[in-house]
């Protein structure tokens, strides 16, 4: 996992509501605490912005993979029907790009989708043998967890706990990884 | 956040559910022992599958002569079944992708089952492609692979080759879309698993999902792009299927209206099948609070719209056949309506054009019994539509001396039955081992759709009914 830290101590603030955790992220960051990550059972719109995460570049990956698909389709059809085995069917030229549009389209979509999803899995460190670092198992059910890496913060543990509780955390737990 | 919505909107989830309730209600059938109903249904499906598989094996062993095909009618039930199943496979991606792009939140309760239906329906469709090849072990000939005959390649100018690319791309992208949507829910099941085996299996399939904000942001982003990619894909697949016919010179097939008409028909039959499946699911798995009458009504509206488009297409075909002045074309359509297969044409018109118009009545649109019945009728009608297009166009073409009738044999029928066995076996396995409703997505709409908000939301007391909601500025 990309977020695995050995021998790090984490404070885990557990929240009951997504609106509360979204506001809490803003409040906790305002108080000068560096947030490691927030875990939730469903996507919370605006949370990545509140956490200051940069915008994902997966769209660029999708475009580039799509372009690769189009080029592959052009090369495939040109090599096979325009060069290696030219055939005139129905009076059409042996290589007539318009008639290959369905092939261009399908391969563009296929390469784009598979390439983007593959990039997504790689960039998030997801795979069949990956053991996830779970700060609280309830975050895939009904709870929201804000994790604070104590090694990355200069503020004391007690103070951070207070800030988390004031921000609406129902409980604050300590986790050691 | 788009949690609080207009008071005029009816709730998408009823029963005042909490996030924990969603997990509990939907995970129940995955975590518990199979119910008696499921076991009975699964046994029947497997028996049908085994019988059908034996018939398919015999079809391949003996050759396609066991079907009722002849020199004139070279395509009949095989391609009818193929187009029918591919059509059914369109609603899943439509619900997932197009409705996601249109921000139709009612899709969340039905998208998982619809996507699963898509995957299984496309598998059934592909099985007929393999069947009609007669020699399925040579199926790889349809792929652009260098072969021992020299530099002989597939003909990329043929819509049949476009079909190979379209169907395989559609299947792959739909599978990826479905699987990506499953990841968060698989993680939920993994974290609730009691046995080591299920923790291991769901752990492996959830790919180490932990629901971090970064992962969710990227996940939402790729979901949107996948939806953007899948939307034209849905349209392309059935457009290309229609071109299998439209680029030919057979009267009744050679029509430019086929692409949009086939796409509308596909969505029409796909939604009807979704209705059949979710109506059973909601009762068997007690999911009435998640798959509500509102969802059923919304889908019925799509059925009414697409059914009307199909009706207009039928009339347009007739008009163009007359207006073209081509006597072969005119005859093909007159023969459809009044020839020896008039009963198939009548079934098609009744089931597809007349019956969905009953959904203009609000009471019928919101009735579970009516919806189920009419959805079955629509699916029957759509099968007849493909039969009418294929068989009635082929059986009488330019040369009266070659005119012939098609009569299905036991193997035509049994191979069709095989596809039902395959479809329902796969669907029942899915419904037992995977959550049939997308838990993560339903949780995102629960506040806007539930009657109660949690106490922790400032300004709203626990259990208080939101009668005058305020719009949040962070609306997505």
Q: What is the pLDDT of residue B446?
A: 82
Element (H, E) at A176: strand A171-176
- The answer to whether B267 and B313 are in contact (CB under 8 A) is no
The phi and psi torsions of B254 (rounded to 5 degrees) equal -80, 65
**Token pair in block for residue B135:** 């020699």
A77 within domain boundaries = yes
Q: Does A117 contact B190 at a Cβ distance shorter than 8 Å?
A: no
The DSSP secondary-structure symbol of A152 reads G
Q: Does B162 contact A47 at a Cβ distance shorter than 8 Å?
A: no
A24 within domain boundaries = yes
B306 within domain boundaries = yes
Q: What is the pLDDT of residue B448?
A: 61
- Say if B337 is an interface residue toward chain A (CB within 8 Å): no
B4 within domain boundaries = no
- The answer to whether B356 and B348 are in contact (CB under 8 A) is no
B471 within domain boundaries = no
The residue among B105, B157, B229 with the most chain A CBs within 10 A of its CB, best to mutate, is B157
Give the whole-angstrom CA distance, residue B468 versus residue B466: 6
Of the candidates A19, A37, A51, which has its C-beta nearest B1's C-beta?
A19
Question: Which residues are CB-neighbours of A172 under 8 A, at least 6 positions away?
Answer: A11, A12, A13, A14, A161, A164, A165
**Token pair in block for residue B119:** 């995957």
Of the candidates A89, A109, A134, which has its C-beta nearest B233's C-beta?
A109
- Say if B194 is an interface residue toward chain A (CB within 8 Å): no
- By CB neighbour count within 10 A (0-12 exposed, 13-18 middle, 19+ buried), where does B323 fall? exposed
Closest CA to A22 of B216, B97, B185: B216
Give the whole-angstrom CA distance, residue B399 versus residue B338: 19
Domain count, chain A: 2
A132 within domain boundaries = no
Residues within 8 A of A (CB atoms), B 417-476 only: 439-441, 443-444, 454, 456-457, 474, 476
Give the whole-angstrom CA distance, residue A127 versus residue A62: 20
* Same domain as A118, residue A66: yes
Chain B nearest-CA distance from A78, in A, is: 10
User: Considering the entire predicted model, what is its pTM?
Assistant: 0.90
The alpha carbon of B170 is separated from its chain's Cα centroid by a whole number of angstroms, namely 12
Residue written as token pair 């959830």: B206
B465 within domain boundaries = no
Give the whole-angstrom CA distance, residue A149 versus residue A13: 12
- Decide the pairing of beta strands A37-39 and A144-149: antiparallel
- Say if B18 is an interface residue toward chain A (CB within 8 Å): yes
Angle at B342 between CA B338 and CA B347, to 5 degrees: 135
**Percent of chain A that is helix, strand, coil (3-state, to 5):** 50, 10, 35
Of the candidates B217, B229, B232, which has its C-beta nearest A53's C-beta?
B217
* Same domain as A117, residue A75: yes
Give the whole-angstrom CA distance, residue B77 versus residue B214: 50
For the sheet with A37-39, list strands across it: A37-39, A144-149, A9-15, A171-176
Q: Which residues of B344-374 are buried (b: 16+ CB within 10 A; e: fewer)?
A: bbebbbebbbebbebbeeeebbebeebbbeb
- Say if B180 is an interface residue toward chain A (CB within 8 Å): yes
Residues of A in contact with B444 (CB under 8 A): 42-43
SS (H, E, C) chain B: CCCCCCCCCCCCCCCCCCHHHHHHHHHHHHHCCCCHHHHHHHHHHHHHHHHHHHHHHHHHHHCHHHCCCCCCCCCCHHHHHHHHHHHHCHHHHHHHHHHHHCCCHHHHHCHHHHHHHHHHHHHHHHHHHHHHHCCHHHHHHHCCCCECCECCCCCCCCHHHHHHHHHHHHHHHHHHHHHHHHHHHHHHHHHHCCCHHHHHHHHHHCCCCCCEHHHHHHHHHHHHHHHHHHHHHHHHHHHHHHHHHHCCCCCCCCCCCHHHHHHHHHHHHHHHHHHHHHHHHHHHCCCCCCCCHHHHHHHHHHHHHHHHHHHHHHHHHHHHHHHCCCHHHHHHHHHHHHCCCHHHHHHHHHHHHHHHHHHHCHHHHCCHHHHHHHHHHHHHHHHHHHHHHHHHHHHCCCCHHHCCCCCCCHHHHHHHHHHHHHHHHHHHHHHHHCCCCCHHHHHHHHHHHCCECCCCCCCCCCCCECCCCCCCCCCC
pLDDT at A2 over 60: no
Give the whole-angstrom CA distance, residue B122 versus residue B92: 11
C-alpha distances in Å from residue B50, one per residue of B53, B88, B179: 5, 23, 28
Give the whole-angstrom CA distance, residue B4 versus residue B118: 32
- Decide the pairing of beta strands A171-176 and A9-15: antiparallel
A15 within domain boundaries = yes
A129 within domain boundaries = no
B9 within domain boundaries = no
- Say if A88 is an interface residue toward chain B (CB within 8 Å): no
Domain count, chain B: 1
What is chain B's Cα-based Rg? 24
Give the whole-angstrom CA distance, residue A99 versus residue A110: 19
B6 within domain boundaries = no
* Same domain as A63, residue A51: no
State the angle between helix axes of A18-30 and A157-166 in degrees (0 to 180), rounded to the nearest 10: 140
The phi and psi torsions of B153 (rounded to 5 degrees) equal -115, 170
Question: ipTM, 2 decimals?
Answer: 0.93
Chain B nearest-CA distance from A147, in A, is: 10
Residues of the domain holding B346:
19-458
> What CATH number should be reported for the domain holding residue B109?
1.20.1630.10
Of the candidates A19, A51, A58, which has its C-beta nearest B3's C-beta?
A19
* Same domain as A94, residue A49: no
Chain A nearest-CA distance from B13, in A, is: 16
B105 within domain boundaries = yes
- Say if B210 is an interface residue toward chain A (CB within 8 Å): yes
Most confident of A60-64, A153-157, B280-284: A60-64
Give the whole-angstrom CA distance, residue B341 versus residue B337: 8
* Same domain as A118, residue A77: yes
Give the whole-angstrom CA distance, residue B251 versus residue B247: 11
Give the whole-angstrom CA distance, residue B113 versus residue B121: 12
Q: What is the pLDDT of residue A97?
A: 85
Residues of A in contact with B155 (CB under 8 A): 81, 87, 89
- The answer to whether B82 and B420 are in contact (CB under 8 A) is no
Residues of the domain holding A32:
9-55+138-176
C-alpha distances in Å from residue A86, one per residue of A80, A101, B150, B265: 7, 18, 13, 37
* Same domain as A72, residue A91: yes
Give the whole-angstrom CA distance, residue B289 versus residue B11: 10
Residues of B in contact with A124 (CB under 8 A): 214-215, 218
Model confidence at A20, pLDDT cuts 50, 70, 90, reads very high
Give the whole-angstrom CA distance, residue A171 versus residue B213: 20
**Token pair in block for residue B191:** 């974290």
* Same domain as A65, residue A118: yes
Q: What is the pLDDT of residue B95?
A: 81
Q: What is the pLDDT of residue B4?
A: 53
Looking at chain B, how many residues does it have?
Answer: 476
A169 within domain boundaries = yes
Helices (H), chain A: 18-30, 47-51, 58-77, 101-123, 157-166
Nearest residue in B to A103, CA atom: B162
A4 within domain boundaries = no
Closest CA to B19 of A73, A120, A42: A42
* Same domain as A171, residue A151: yes
A1 within domain boundaries = no
Q: What is the pLDDT of residue B177?
A: 92
**Token pair in block for residue B462:** 């626990």
Q: What is the pLDDT of residue B85?
A: 95
Per-residue pLDDT 10s for chain B (476 aa) are 444 555 566 778 888 888 999 999 999 889 989 989 899 999 999 999 999 999 999 999 999 999 999 999 999 999 999 999 999 998 888 888 888 888 888 888 888 999 999 999 999 999 999 999 989 998 988 888 877 766 788 888 889 999 999 999 999 999 999 999 999 999 999 999 989 999 999 999 999 999 999 999 999 999 999 999 998 998 999 899 999 999 999 999 998 999 999 999 999 999 999 999 999 988 888 888 899 898 999 999 999 999 999 999 999 999 999 999 999 999 999 999 999 999 999 999 999 999 999 999 999 999 999 999 999 999 999 999 999 999 999 999 888 999 999 999 999 999 999 999 999 999 999 999 999 999 999 998 887 644 444 444 434 344 444 443 333 333 33
């Amino acid at each position: 996992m990309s977020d695995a830290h050995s021998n790090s101590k984490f404070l885990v603030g557990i929240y009951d509501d997504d609106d509360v955790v979204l506001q809490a992220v803003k409040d906790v960051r305002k108080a000068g605490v560096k947030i490691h990550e927030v875990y939730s059972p469903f996507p919370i719109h605006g949370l990545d912005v509140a956490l200051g995460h940069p915008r994902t570049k997966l769209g660029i990956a999708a475009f580039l993979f799509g372009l690769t698909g189009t080029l592959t389709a052009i090369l495939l059809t040109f090599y096979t029907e325009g060069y290696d085995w030219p055939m005139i069917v129905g009076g059409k030229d042996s290589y007539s790009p318009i008639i290959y549009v369905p092939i261009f389209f399908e391969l563009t979509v296929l390469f784009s989708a598979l390439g983007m999803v593959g990039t997504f899995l790689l960039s998030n460190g997801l795979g069949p043998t990956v053991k996830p670092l779970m700060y609280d198992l309830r975050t895939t059910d009904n709870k929201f967890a804000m994790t604070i890496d104590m090694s990355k913060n200069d503020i004391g543990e007690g103070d951070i706990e207070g800030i988390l509780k004031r921000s609406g955390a129902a409980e604050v737990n300590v986790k050691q990884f | 956040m788009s949690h609080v919505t207009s008071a005029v909107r009816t709730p998408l989830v009823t029963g005042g559910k909490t996030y924990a309730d969603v997990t509990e209600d939907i995970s129940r059938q995955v975590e518990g022992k199979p119910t008696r109903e499921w076991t009975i249904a699964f046994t029947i499906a497997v028996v049908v599958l085994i019988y059908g598989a034996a018939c398919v094996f015999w079809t391949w062993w003996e050759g396609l002569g066991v079907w009722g095909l002849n020199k004139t009618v070279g395509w009949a039930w095989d391609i009818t079944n193929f187009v029918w199943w591919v059509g059914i496979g369109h609603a899943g991606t439509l619900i997932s992708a197009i409705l996601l792009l249109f921000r139709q939140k009612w899709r969340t309760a039905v998208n998982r089952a619809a996507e699963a239906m898509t995957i299984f329906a496309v598998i059934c469709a592909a099985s007929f492609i393999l069947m009609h090849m007669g020699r399925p072990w040579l199926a790889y000939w349809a792929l652009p692979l260098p072969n021992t005959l020299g530099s002989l390649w597939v003909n990329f100018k043929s819509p049949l080759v476009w079909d190979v690319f379209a169907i395989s791309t559609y299947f792959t992208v739909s599978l990826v879309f479905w699987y990506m949507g499953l990841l968060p829910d698989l993680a939920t099941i993994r974290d609730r698993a009691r046995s080591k085996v299920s923790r291991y299996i769901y752990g492996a399939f959830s790919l180490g999902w932990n629901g971090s904000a970064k992962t969710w942001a990227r996940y939402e982003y790729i979901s949107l792009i996948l939806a953007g990619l899948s939307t034209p894909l849905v349209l392309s697949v059935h457009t290309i299927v229609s071109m299998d016919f439209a680029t030919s010179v057979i009267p009744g097939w050679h029509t430019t209206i086929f692409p949009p008409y086939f796409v509308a028909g596909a969505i029409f039959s796909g939604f009807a099948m979704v209705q059949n499946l979710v109506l059973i699911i909601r009762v068997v798995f007690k999911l009435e609070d998640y798959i509500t009458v509102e969802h059923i009504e919304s889908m019925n509206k799509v059925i009414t719209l697409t059914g009307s488009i199909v009706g207009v297409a039928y009339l347009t075909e007739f008009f163009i056949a007359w207006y073209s002045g081509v006597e072969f074309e005119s005859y093909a359509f007159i023969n459809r309506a009044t020839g020896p297969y008039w009963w198939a044409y009548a079934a098609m018109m009744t089931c597809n054009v007349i019956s969905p118009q009953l959904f203009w009545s609000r009471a019928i649109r919101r009735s579970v019994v009516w919806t189920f019945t009419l959805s079955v009728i629509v699916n029957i009608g759509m099968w007849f539509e493909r039969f009418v297009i294929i068989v009635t166009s082929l059986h009488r073409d330019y040369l009266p001396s070659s005119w012939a009738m098609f009569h299905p044999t036991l193997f035509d029928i049994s191979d069709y039955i095989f596809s039902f066995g395959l479809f329902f076996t796969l669907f029942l396995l899915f419904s037992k081992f995977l959550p049939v409703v997308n838990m993560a997505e339903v949780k995102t709409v629960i506040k806007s759709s539930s009657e109660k908000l949690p106490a922790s939301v400032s300004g709203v007391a626990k259990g208080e009914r939101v009668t005058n909601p305020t719009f949040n500025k962070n609306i997505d």
